A and B are shown apart, each in its own frame.
Chain A
Amino acid sequence: MPGNGLPKRAAAVAIPALAFAGLAWLLGAEREWEIVTILVGFLAVLVVLDRTQPGRAVAAACRAERSVANATAVIATLVVLWTFREEHFALLMVATVALSATACVGLNIQMAFGGIANFAAAAFFTLGAYTAAVLTGHTALPHLLVLAAGGAVTSVLGLVLLLPVLRTRGHYVALVTIAFGLLLRNLLEVNDTFGGPQGMKIPAFAPFGFDFGTITSIAGIEVSFYLPYALAAAALFGMAFLAARCLELSWIGIAIDAVRTDPIAASTFGLSPARWKATAFLIGNAMIGVAGALYGMMNGFVNPNGAGFGESLTLISIVVLGGLGNLWGTVAASAVVLALPEKLQPIQEYRLLIFAAVVIAILRFRPGGLLPRPLRVLGSRDGVEA
């Protein structure tokens, strides 16, 4: 293990930087050999970090120098965004990945922390977008508040599920959420109040009067109008990430974990399983809703299609593949899951088959996901020591 601070910090800078460079390359890559190289490289780095002594030391260093690693990630994100500033498609993908990752942070809070398998994540995501559509269409609410309302409405509608979700566990919860997702999608499609199957149009995001739809340059430099969206999406992810970390590294984090692992023991020590599960579920839903609202505004429309079971499954797959409870794993998995299908055009007929096989392989042979959740280390002194 590197003893003094400098090599550890260097590692905490190098690893996130490397990861972001890889993801950026993946986004820009067109040729098949590039894509294969990136994926193989990604796996190789993972194996080294996981299976070798120096690799594990480097990984531990990243965890220890959390703030350095996070700062590197922020800078790397900005660099990537600036590099792609004129590339509409790459920025759209970055924003899509960031917003999915934000939703998946919420899903992580529900599944990894609270132990609630939410198979209606895409339905809640779409609900956020519908909220944005209704509020921007019928009110003059400032757009930042519209985002917040997207989260609030999604959270409140989640209350409908709370009773059955709290009274049951495991598979029963999964079924309740599956049923809710199907029900919601069906309802939105059949009922014409919210545009029926065609859905609704949503105006561009315009916080403080900056209409994102019309931005073509920043400080005189020509940029894609997707750049502000990508920035906003990245910022949103940053906030969700921070909130989730705060939650995890707090008394509530311990409480939610305890309630998930052993509700009986937790309740004998004074914790109410219902309260903490509900907390996890509602906070998670709020994040999913906010991400959905911004996604809807970026796309300019929302329709019931997005609420489908398949979409929810994609989000859950991202969370499980990334590693339940590991937020960086979630980012990596969203990038791979969302960007890869588009890159695999030559084998498009077999994409779904391959995707399913990959998920099976990971669940079977690496059940913790690509990056398993690390142990919580609390206390300022121990943080440095570990």
Chain B
Amino acid sequence: MDIGFLAQHLFNGLMLGVIYAMIALGFSLFFGVLDVIKFSHGDVVTLGAFAALGAIAFVGSVVPLPGLALVLGLLAAIAASMAAGMVIGGTLVLPLRNAPPVNVLLITLMAGTILREAIRLGVPNGGNPKPFPALLPDRRIEIGSFSVGIDSVTILLAGLAVVVATHHLVTRTRLGLAIRAVAQDPEVACLSGIDFRRTVLGTFALGSALAAVAGCMLGLYYREINFSMGLVLGVIGFAAAVVGGLGSLLGPILGGFLFAGVQTLVTITVPSASAYKDVAAFAVVIALIGLFPTGLISERASERV
């Protein structure tokens, strides 16, 4: 294979991996503080994308400034997703903290359904895919058969930066310290003066903000968003987080890239079997969980007796 195409495939895989990793990080953060899976996370991504779309359309109708539109769109996305994440976290997940895991899974799945249906019914012609405006400069870099838009590179770099920033936030800041303390042992954290509820909601806000950014990246990159994209993304993000190791920081990032890698690899090597790429990816997930029951990077010690 031509080196240019190899580079192109690598780029595609990286892009996909970053998006998966950002979503998986959210799953891992929520699991860290509360030991729950918030399945509505994928739909929070969709919500972010649609909020951005709305804000961009509004700004576009007032002033023709793509840069401003982008910034305001991003802010709107983050605000909407954070609000949704905190409402779901505060009213549905926190009260069910001591319920069986299935209940939390189911209630957040249903919350996701509500978000999804609300978008479908609330947005005019919400059932159809919506074009996402190209707000970044769309010149291309062409090196041989490798061709990539400047906007794609920007999006990829921004995604990587956000992932790194999240890591920094969790490992270096006060909020991060509180998150890690609560994740380690909620009771001890509370004794040392950390507000449990606020920390948990803060984590939900942080994870949802990541989802919002992922949503905007998806829109900018694929130039198309639709109401049901969150479901598949949610499943993939969840899978990436679990395979990588729930509760850890590096695990979900690793899991995201792994998942993207398997998908891309199947498509390149056997094109006629590209429909099997999800089959392959999920088979790998099942096998990995069988081999590493607590994920590739496990943060949890064995259960206390």
Query: Interface of A with B (CB < 8 Å)?
Result: 111, 115, 117, 160-161, 163-164, 167-168, 170-172, 174-176, 178-180, 182-183, 186-187, 190, 264, 309, 313, 316-317, 320, 324, 349-350, 352-353, 355-357, 359-360, 363-364, 367
Residues from chain B with a CB closer than 8 A to the CB of A178 are 235, 238-239
The contact string, 1 if C-beta is below 8 Å from chain A, for chain B 85-126, is: 000000110011001111101110111011001100100000
A190 touches B275 (CB 8 A): yes
Tell me if B270 is interfacial: C-beta within 8 Å of chain A. Answer: no
Residues from chain A with a CB closer than 8 A to the CB of B2 are none
Residues from chain B with a CB closer than 8 A to the CB of A367 are 96, 99, 103
A-B contact pairs, 10 of them (CB 8 A): A115-B100, A168-B293, A174-B102, A178-B235, A179-B235, A186-B282, A187-B279, A190-B279, A317-B106, A363-B96
Residues from chain B with a CB closer than 8 A to the CB of A359 are 106-107, 110
Q: Which of B101, B110, B117, B294 contacts A360 (CB 8 A)?
A: B110
Q: Which of B102, B118, B275, B303 contacts A353 (CB 8 A)?
A: B118
A364 touches B102 (CB 8 A): no
Instruction: Give CA–CA (A183, B235) in the complex, Å.
Output: 12
- Rounded to whole Å, the gap between the CB of B64 and the closest CB of chain A is 36
- Rounded to whole Å, the gap between the CB of B183 and the closest CB of chain A is 15
B95 touches A190 (CB 8 A): no
Tell me if B283 is interfacial: C-beta within 8 Å of chain A. Answer: yes
Instruction: Give CA–CA (A111, B105) in the complex, Å.
Output: 13
Chain A: CB-nearest residue to B31 = A171
Q: Which of A111, A171, A186 contacts B37 (CB 8 A)?
A: A171
A182 touches B235 (CB 8 A): yes
Query: Interface of B with A (CB < 8 Å)?
Result: 31, 37, 91-92, 95-96, 99-103, 105-107, 109-111, 113-114, 117-118, 121, 231, 235, 238-239, 242, 246, 275-276, 278-279, 282-283, 285-287, 289-290, 293-294, 303, 305
Chain B: CB-nearest residue to A175 = B242
> How would you classify the secondary structure of chain A's contact residues: helix, strand, loop or mixed?
helix
Closest 10 A/B residue pairs (Cβ): A164-B290, A356-B113, A170-B101, A179-B282, A167-B293, A356-B110, A183-B282, A190-B275, A353-B117, A363-B107
B109 touches A171 (CB 8 A): no
Residues from chain B with a CB closer than 8 A to the CB of A355 are 113
Instruction: Give CA–CA (A117, B246) in the complex, Å.
Output: 18
Chain A: CB-nearest residue to B118 = A353
Residues from chain A with a CB closer than 8 A to the CB of B92 are 360, 364
- Rounded to whole Å, the gap between the CB of B279 and the closest CB of chain A is 5
Do A176 and B276 contact each other (CB < 8 Å), given the known contacts A171-B105, A363-B107?
no
Do A175 and B103 contact each other (CB < 8 Å), given the known contacts A163-B290, A180-B286?
no
- Rounded to whole Å, the gap between the CB of B292 and the closest CB of chain A is 9
Q: Which of A174, A190, A309, A360 contacts B114 (CB 8 A)?
A: A360
Instruction: Give CA–CA (A317, B109) in the complex, Å.
Output: 11
Q: Which of B103, B111, B286 contacts A320 (CB 8 A)?
A: B103
B106 touches A316 (CB 8 A): yes
